[in-house]
């Protein structure tokens, strides 16, 4: 893990993600965020993690982005968009010019408001629901579980 400290900005990144956090079905939602707001024209994508930097595009309400990095500075918490999110939400002239870096404000320090929220993965089925219809093999092998016409009873 590498930590970069440039003035008031801190950045943490890793060249290779640990084995535990690779893109498995359960972990693919760890680096996804959803823009939730009411009465908004969208969340601005900027060229650098600064409110004064150039606007490249906009994420609509309920838009989902992927990100690769997170930094903290005086404005709040910024996330660096992954390539797919840049192409999805940035104006075409910027993506054609190979501008492959875009940042969004996840938490605005000035107004104390979270703008991007974690995306929840699919809900896990409770054990009772998972076992519904599953046959207990011990009961199948127990002759006392058979009725008179040699059919098994399941419970």
What does the pLDDT look like over 124-142, one tens digit per residue? 666 655 555 555 545 555 5
Given this model, what pLDDT does residue 81 score? 95
- Domains plus CATH for the chain? 28-122 (2.30.30)
Phi, psi of 100 (to 5 degrees): -105, 25
Q: What is the dihedral of CA 133, 139, 143, 146, to 10 degrees?
A: -20
Residue 42, pLDDT above cutoff 60: yes
Helices then strands, counting H and E runs in the chain, come out as 4, 10
- In whole angstroms, what is the distance from residue 100 CA to residue 43 CA? 18
Q: Does the predicted model carry a pTM greater than 0.75?
A: no
Phi, psi of 11 (to 5 degrees): -135, 135
């Amino acid at each position: 893990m590498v930590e970069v400290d440039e003035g008031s900005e801190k950045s943490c990144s890793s060249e290779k993600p640990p084995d535990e956090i690779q893109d498995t079905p359960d972990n693919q939602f760890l680096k996804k965020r959803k823009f939730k707001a009411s009465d908004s024209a969208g969340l601005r994508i900027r060229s650098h993690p600064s409110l004064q930097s150039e606007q490249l595009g906009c994420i609509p309400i309920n838009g989902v982005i992927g990100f690769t990095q997170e930094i903290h500075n005086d404005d709040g918490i910024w996330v660096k968009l992954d390539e797919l999110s840049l192409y999805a939400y940035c104006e075409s002239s910027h993506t054609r010019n190979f501008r492959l870096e875009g940042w969004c404000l996840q938490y605005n320090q000035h107004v104390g408001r979270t703008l991007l929220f974690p995306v929840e993965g699919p809900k896990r089925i409770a054990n009772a629901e998972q076992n519904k219809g599953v046959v207990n093999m011990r009961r199948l092998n127990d002759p006392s579980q058979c009725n008179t016409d040699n059919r098994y009873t399941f419970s």
